[in-house]
Amino acid sequence: MKDIVKVVVDLPLKTINREFDYLLPEKLKSELEVGQIVRVPFGRRKLSAFVTGFKAKTDIKKSKLKEIESLLYKQSFFGDELLKLFYWTAAYYHAYLAQVIKKALPPGITEQKIRKKEVEFLKLNSEITDYKNELDKLKIRAPKQYLILKYLLENSEQKHKLKKVVESAETSRQTVFRLIDKDLITLYTDVEERIPEMNIYLKEADEYNFPLQQQEKELIDQLTDNDSENNSYLLTTENGQRRYNFIIKLLVKLLAEKKNIILLIPEIEKDQIFLAQLNNQFGDNIAFIHSQLSRGERFDQWQQIKNGKVKIAVGARSAIFAPFSELNAVIIMEENNESYKAQEHPLYHARQIAVKRLKKNNSLLLLESPFPSLESQYHALAGEYQQMKLNPKKSKILTKIIDMKKEVEKGNLGDLSQDLITEIKNQLKKNNKIILFLNRRGSANYLICRKCGHVLKCDNCDISLNYHREQHQLRCHYCGLKKEVPDNCPECGSRFISQAGVGTEKIIEQLKTLYQDLKIVRVDSDLKERVVKQRLKNFKKGEIDILVGTSILIKNQFYDQLKFLAVISADTALNSSDFRAAENNYSLLMELKSLLLNKSDSKFWLQSYDPDHYSIQAALAPDKYSFYQKEIKIRKQRNYPPFCRLLNIIISAEAEEKAAAQSKKLSTFLDNYKDKYLEKLGASPAVLSKIRNKYRWQLILKFNSMRNREYIIQLIEKKFIEKNDSDSVEIRIDVDPYQML
């Protein structure tokens, strides 16, 4: 008899990252199953734990085993299929199993039991057959009671919430209870599901419903009728409303075939109109699971999926764990978006989880993006994904690149070129809307020569050196190189070396000096969400002349008749300490370009101190493939993904000397394996060298195989993590990192 229960305790510590055995008490023998949450005695505490299995034997004497204390929920939260996925995720990303399980379940369920929402309802007394006499009496003596009774009679087929009835009659609960005392109506409670509100977006959502074009119909047929072994696709779309419409029509077809589908969207908070479209179209057949919902709403939506009441689950990264008993399709929108890679434990990538989850049953995997990641394009060319293109269009937009070095030669040290200032005036004369874009990412942490455009880079890594103001020093956060800040540019000898980066407020000031009578506003993350929404709305209505903004003005925003957009500094993103900098820069520029009306009189202008950089020049190219060809060669030369397996190790401590010492100790240990197993960069201070009062050091390791990486990780865990008796030093292992900070 299997009377020993395996559980994972909800306590993510390195010393207990395993399953524990407990005795199955007599009172729970008929109730307990895999996936339930129980309470167990653990040391001197009582903790929540997840049931992962049963067995008949254990290496521990039964007399020393403790009993499970109680069952927190009667229902099971996961079955064997999801449990296997949890095991794999924890093993691949070297995460705590408890963290993986908690990430997949509704938040807060182990801290306290989430109650079902109970609501008070009213109904007519079924024993009374003739209400006419009662209505006649109440009409004169108690008009409020009359209104309530009349309302219930006229809408007898519906369920009536007590609160709503009281509000509609503009009365109080006491009035209702008088009718109850007369036995005319009955009060009862019932469970009601908490449904997220989206009504404010319904009108806008209706505007983006288009009939399918012939090519779109053919693509949907191909995606849904494929019987080949390879049912994974990379779909390159055009940015705009049609791509959202296409996804909805694809979901309609999959739903008609009774498929269970997960739809991942990277930034839920910026996609509210699309969520409203989905809600409009699929109603009771769709559930939303994301962080903007309350705990109760998320719990109820999750239950809808688990109980088979809906066929579509929509959410951000963690929705990949949606508890369908059988999963038939996963659609990942903007598959290149880095938010699919978690930056808090467990450090998983949703795309990788999707590939693993769908591997056995050959279900549909669709990776969608207007600008697919370089890795996905590489895998598609290798035959791992089938390639598709949706509505490919030839760009008619005029793109111009302005060399800001020449502006300095002319004596213009401002942030706006003379050509841009003149063009803004021309656009205003035509009553055209104007957007000026600023990329804050990576700004103001590197030095640039404003005369020749030279960025001070590491001699070893070809990555921009980070400027540390306090020490007035340049550092490479890959190999640890340190340099003094030169007085003169090492390239041209000029003294015009300055910190890069400019803020929206500074640009606004310059514009208002030039154009005093214009309505000029900014949108950035410093503003409240409602302010940003209102300003974007006003801009679209033509009430704002010039809009200055950061990436917040891009996501799911469609600007009708926009004919001019300029990027103030098109090379800012290139100078972050990230091997994906060029790819991120190119994707950003192309996304901005796609906001413009695709007509010959539309203009896309780029200001740059490095105008010949291939990611900027690619904005002029007629197709998206030219950038890929250049970037893939560079990745191969420098041995970066997809040509290696990457590992980012962060060592942090409140005392900088402890973080440095442990990093150097680990680095010395890894030197023994350099030639055969790995290539090592560091140890050195991390790009973000201090977070939450902890100093951070970094090692970046490159491997030519997963096997070698796994071997080295296990050595690190055994010799440095498991044997690390000090809680003051933390070692964080990030498998397949997306942010090298």
DSSP 8-state code for residue 212 = P
Contacts of 540 (CB under 8 A, 6+ apart): 559, 560
Single-letter residue type at 426: N
86 neighbors 103 (Cβ within 8 angstroms): no
680 neighbors 695 (Cβ within 8 angstroms): no
488 neighbors 497 (Cβ within 8 angstroms): yes
Q: What angle, 0 to 180 degrees and rounded to 10, lies between the N-to-C axes of helices 374-381 and 625-638?
A: 90
314 neighbors 275 (Cβ within 8 angstroms): yes
> Cβ of 705: how many Cβ atoms within 10 Å?
11
Structure tokens at 98: 């408890």
476 annotated as a binding-site residue: yes
> DSSP letters of 649-663?
EEEEESSHHHHHHHH
Q: Backbone phi, then psi, for 349, in 5-degree steps?
A: -115, 125
644 annotated as a binding-site residue: no
260 neighbors 326 (Cβ within 8 angstroms): yes
Single-letter residue type at 506: K
Question: What span, in angstroms and rounded, lies between the C-alpha atoms of 543 and 728?
Answer: 55
Question: What span, in angstroms and rounded, lies between the C-alpha atoms of 376 and 234?
Answer: 7
479 annotated as a binding-site residue: yes
Contacts of 505 (CB under 8 A, 6+ apart): 522
Structure tokens at 90: 């924890």
Structure tokens at 626: 């030219």
Single-letter residue type at 4: I
316 neighbors 290 (Cβ within 8 angstroms): yes
Computed from CA positions of residues 539, 541, 544, 546, in that sequence, does the dihedral angle turn out positive or negative? positive
Q: Backbone phi, then psi, for 566, in 5-degree steps?
A: -125, 140
Q: How far apart are the first and last CA of the chain?
A: 52
Question: What span, in angstroms and rounded, lies between the C-alpha atoms of 537 and 436?
Answer: 17
CB hemisphere CA count around 714 (13 angstroms): 8
Going by the annotation, the residues of the binding site are 449, 452, 458, 461, 476, 479, 489, 492
Going by the annotation, the residues of the binding site for Zn(2+) are 449, 452, 458, 461, 476, 479, 489, 492
